[in-house]
Structure 1
């Protein structure tokens, strides 16, 4: 109990004062943090989506910064805010002032004012509202330019007081020594005593912890996200403030608790060459064929973040903006095929892939590798629909183009062989399936290390065919090679692993080797339990099989 107050007006005044103080010190503002685990030996974290979330968020921020704002963005943002705050006269007055007087060089002043701009933009970052963030592009770029223009001349140490939930604190503790990024602007203070005393002056509630971040940053490091002491530009001139750019990456150096119950967390701002993340980010960009920070690239990122409706919307928007003969139309058509395929709308997916081919044929030769990619995608859709004859026909068209333009030993040719093997497997044509799986393996083993995930999956497919043919020893041989590839890739909790272990158990069961079957089945059950619930059909089925095999001993 902080105080006992009996007068209603006095109580309201006390609550308002307490609220304003908490707002002034940013204590209640939710921090949007992303986490990256670089320890390849820590398999549990690698099997989560945390690393991918981290990388996607960095790529998304790069797109927001890199895409050029539309001249009407500010007007649209103002119109949206007027609707949002139509019953709030105070905010409408500030909004009118912003509409009339805003200048890029005053962006820091506006950000620190804690008005609709501050709240709405931070919320957009927190919930990843892409439409709203795009409207804020002009404001984000203006702030970034001011941070770059007024960057600190020497190393700084800043502090941030924060209330956070116990779950977030546990996550921070687990990631000690690792990397975190802030997916919004991070406002901190140069005054340690003021930050600490502000935390001490408030009582934290149940499940909420007090945290004091100590942030060290050196402007001499290369390729930093921008940061600056913004005291002279701030709305509150009596606050010594430092602002860090969205997407700033920190190494979590230390975390401990003092006698007053405040958790102290030391963060060091990282430059690109201080951490291994840039190679991961570049790898993802290459994987997604992201060539630039444009709206198409934004669509690719959103698609892989599983924000399919947003991705589809931006692809359609770009198509409507492009001339009929523009090369990027093909990229958008193909991307729309991917999105609608992922949404399960196979007829729409086929329409977009075929439109991509039509567009390519109008602007390039028939043996364009992009056309082969579209044929391969069409084949995947037909196979999902169960139309294996049309799937094989499209794979053959893709294969012919790739072999002609890329050569017999190209990885895309290997992928096509593998996909055709899957079709033959589904059709029960096991000899043909083995032939095409081995064709794929012969190419892939020239390009990939033995521990590659793709080789692990391929060995599992070959093992499955031998299992169907009752070549049990060969099946076990390839299953073991599959597990070896996954384990060397630090993917021993990869979703395919428990399926391989289960199949090994079933093979041993078929050979009446019940003791060994039980070993594999129990291992499979252990891995399954780490990623799916106890009531999942896979868990229920494997436990049933374990009981049956146990009864045979």
Structure 2
């Protein structure tokens, strides 16, 4: 059955999603993304990267630590840039004179992490710099700045691990997925998708090509890319991850920012890393007599907003939407958060995590023997979920201890939430298409477009192309870009016309989408033409009481209503209502939509008593089938009030 979009009950047309192949590698050029969670701003009136060798040498040293460096010689331009930084943390190096002017303006911006003063007269500038906590020193040499910066960016990455909070006190069964933190849902879906895909050597090659392009002007990073190219299979995935090279940075940022094209390109590594942790978990814990629970620690700085959310979610669920490093040594994690509150405005949180080794749904493992640094560390796979316990203040009003307990898939509330997510995220779709449909449902249209553009470029199958063009049309339609939506829908139908019978119901779905967009554009004659094509196909293939036939009558009725031909509109809407009355339960929302549409026709005709009667029938059904705050209920109540005032 193909889904048709109807007034009040718009549905996605995912033609035959269940028989899609699992999509693998992208072959198109990637967007140029930030590769790290931070950038560097360098402000000095003497910067001259064309002619000054000292400036070139300074830039070269900084490039070994931060990929994105933004040099400025003008204070106003620099300030404008810093104020427009939204998603990254900004480190700043400023000359003494320009810093004295700029620091008071940018110091309290939350995106400004740390400031270093680089000058020729240390004693002079230390006098004013000591009044600004984010200034971490006044230097006359770039080398100590680089040393401090290297540690600061590592700490920054650790504090930017994405966390989702899920309140369960009101029952997860009623969780509105649009109110749920989208990253919680996306990372769960990504994890499920990656475990179904068979990656190939070409996936690895494509990622290496991408890295060579973005690091073209960074010799040190290119050396790391060369090492990955030639030695990837010589070291285990955990070794590469704990090396904290560009691979670590790109992975952390792409998952935090949900940059879907990068996630797809790194899919091979995410899966390899997960599988390595799962294998170690099996070796270390499964089937062993040692089943006693144990404690690990994780220190992280949270913004005031995230900390408030944590407090509101006590006894609820918390998920780390990335791979999570923890320590068996409390002091390691505690020292990290003490350092964090000294050098930032963040709230330091010591997560104390109780772990049951028998839990296998979230793999974790001691990685000391396979880690780059050979340190005692417990590494959790992506999307580890914990129950939030006691939250208590420590010896400082910005230091807090939070007790967590690792949750298994058998946790009742998590089970209900997982089932709800699965049910509402197109479970029949295969591979990355499922994520795309979820992004559309969550109204994350730009990311959905990125994903479908990649899938379009990677397929040579006409049927898959038709489905992807349809989804791109749906994205553009939802964005209100109707001409582009028509173009995509038309490309989909052009392909289907070549490979399908003229009476195939999948063509009807494609024509229906085009007709509905033309209706939104006010081009009613074209809308009517496409809806009549749909009706002809439906009448050929379907029994007289089929719901899709009712949908065709409904859509034609809508067009006639918009054209002012109310008698024809009423005729078609009544045909739709008759089918729904025979085939649907008495509390079905499509039945309510049919009454609502008839109410609109009578209202437009000026027959307010009949309009009121139809609206009230629609309201009666909706009150039985929809939550009290549903927008469709509000719309019908509004229509009833308007009609009553006109009577």
TM value normalised by structure 2 = 0.66
Higher mean C-alpha deviation, range 111-120 or range 243-252: 243-252
Q: Distance in 2 between matches of 1:71 and 1:55?
A: 29
Shift of 1:310: 1.0
> How many Å apart are 1:168 and its aligned residue?
1.6
Q: Distance in 2 between matches of 1:56 and 1:175?
A: 20
1:214 aligns with 2:352: yes
Q: Which residue of 1 aligns with 2:458?
A: 318
8 Å CA contact 2:134–2:344 kept in 1: the answer is no
Contact 2:319 2:386 (8 Å CA) reproduced: yes
Paired position in structure 1 for 2:338 = 200
Write the distance in 1 (CA, Å) between the matches of 2:134 and 2:483. Answer: 66
Contact 1:40 1:46 in 2 (8 A): no
Contact 1:37 1:51 (8 Å CA) reproduced: no
Q: 1:467 to 1:257 in 2, by over 3 A?
A: farther
Instruction: Tell me, in whole angstroms, the C-alpha distance in 2 between the residues paired with 1:501 and 1:207.
Output: 48
Contact 1:44 1:493 in 2 (8 A): no
CA distance in 2, matches of 1:413, 1:189: 61
3-state secondary structure, aligned to 1:330: helix
Give, in angstroms, the shift of residue 402 of structure 1: 3.5
Q: Distance in 2 between matches of 1:248 and 1:4?
A: 36
Deviations 1:13-39 (CA, angstroms, capped at 9, x unpaired): 599469638837x77431223455567
* Contact residue 515 and residue 527 of structure 2 kept, 8 A: yes
Counterpart check, 1:417 vs 2:547: no
CA contact (8 A) 1:315 1:335 kept: no
Stretch of structure 1 that moved more, 100-109 or 436-445: 436-445
C-alpha distance 418-241 of structure 1, shift in aligned 2 (>3 A): farther
* Greater percentage in helix: 1
Q: Provide the residue aligned with 1:525 in structure 2.
A: none
What is the SS of the residue equivalent to 2:369?
helix
Question: Deviations for 1:148-173, whole angstroms, at most 9, x for unmatched residues?
Answer: 21115145543221101111222333
Structure 1: distance between partners of 2:611 and 2:418: 40
Following TM superposition, by how much is the alpha carbon of 1:383 offset from its aligned partner in structure 2, in angstroms? 1.4
Q: For 1:21 and 1:510, locate their aligned partners in 2 and report how far apart those are by CA, in whole Å.
A: 67
Going from structure 1 to structure 2, the CA distance change for 1:175 and 1:473 (only over 3 Å counts) comes to farther
Aligned equivalents of 1:348 and 1:426: distance in 2? 23
Check if 1:246 corresponds to 2:382.
yes
Q: 1:546 — aligned with what?
A: none
Contact between 1:411 and 1:443, CA under 8 Å: does it hold in 2? yes
Tell me the secondary structure at the aligned position of residue 199 of structure 1: helix
| Corresponding position of 1:548 | none
Is 1:278 aligned to 2:409, yes or no? no
TM-aligned CA deviation for residue 370 of structure 1: 0.9
Alignment of 1:334 with 2:470, yes or no, is yes
CA distance in 2 between counterparts of 1:131 and 1:106 reads 24
Q: TM-score, normalised by structure 1?
A: 0.75
- Work out which of the residue numbers 369, 372, 384 in structure 2 matches 1:232: 369
Equivalents in 1 of 2:181, 2:435: separation in Å?
19
| Aligned 8 A contact 1:43 1:493 in 2 | no
Higher relative contact order, structure no. (Cα contacts within 8 Å, ≥ 6 residues apart): 2
Give the drift of 1:351. Answer: 4.9
Question: Among residues 253, 259, 267, which one is paired with 1:123 in the alignment?
Answer: 253
Q: Distance in 1 between matches of 2:587 and 2:387?
A: 29
Which structure 2 segments of 5+ residues have no match? 1-129, 286-290
Q: 1:45 to 1:363 in 2, by over 3 A?
A: closer
CA contact (8 A) 1:47 1:494 kept: no
Which residues of 2 match residues 50-61 of structure 1 at below 5 A? 50=180, 54-61=184-191
2:504 to 351, 362, 368: 368
Rounded Cα–Cα distance in structure 1 between residues aligned with 2:422 and 2:173: 22
Which 10-residue stretch deviates more, 186-195 or 8-17? 8-17
Q: Which residue of structure 1 aligns with residue 201 of structure 2?
A: 71
What SS is found at the alignment partner of 2:341? coil
- Aligned counterparts of 2:579 and 2:168: Cα–Cα separation in 1: 31
Distance 1:467 1:162 in 2: 59
CA separation of 1:379/1:28 partners in 2, compared to 1, >3 Å: closer, same or farther? same
**Contact 2:299–2:351 (Cα < 8 Å) also in 1:** yes
In the alignment, the residues of structure 2 paired with residue 469 and residue 371 of structure 1 have an alpha-carbon distance, to the nearest angstrom, of 34
1:91 Cα deviation from its structure 2 partner:
4.2
Q: Which runs of 5+ in 1 are unaligned?
A: 512-553
Q: 1:160 aligns to what SS in structure 2? A: strand
Q: Is the alpha carbon distance of 1:277 and 1:101 closer, same or farther for their aligned partners in structure 2, counting shifts above 3 Å?
A: same
Residues 355/381 of structure 1: CA separation in 2 closer, same or farther (3 Å cut): same
Aligned partner of 2:402 in structure 1 is 265
- 1:15-164 matches, cutoff 5 A: 16=147, 20=151, 23=154, 28-36=158-166, 46=176, 48-50=178-180, 54-85=184-215, 90-103=220-233, 106-151=236-281, 152-153=284-285, 154=291, 155-164=293-302
Mapped to 2, the partners of 1:409 and 1:39 lie a distance apart of 44
Deviation at 1:483, TM superposition (A): 5.1
Alignment correspondent of 1:514: none
Q: Distance in 2 between matches of 1:98 and 1:225?
A: 27
Structure 1 partner of 2:445: 306
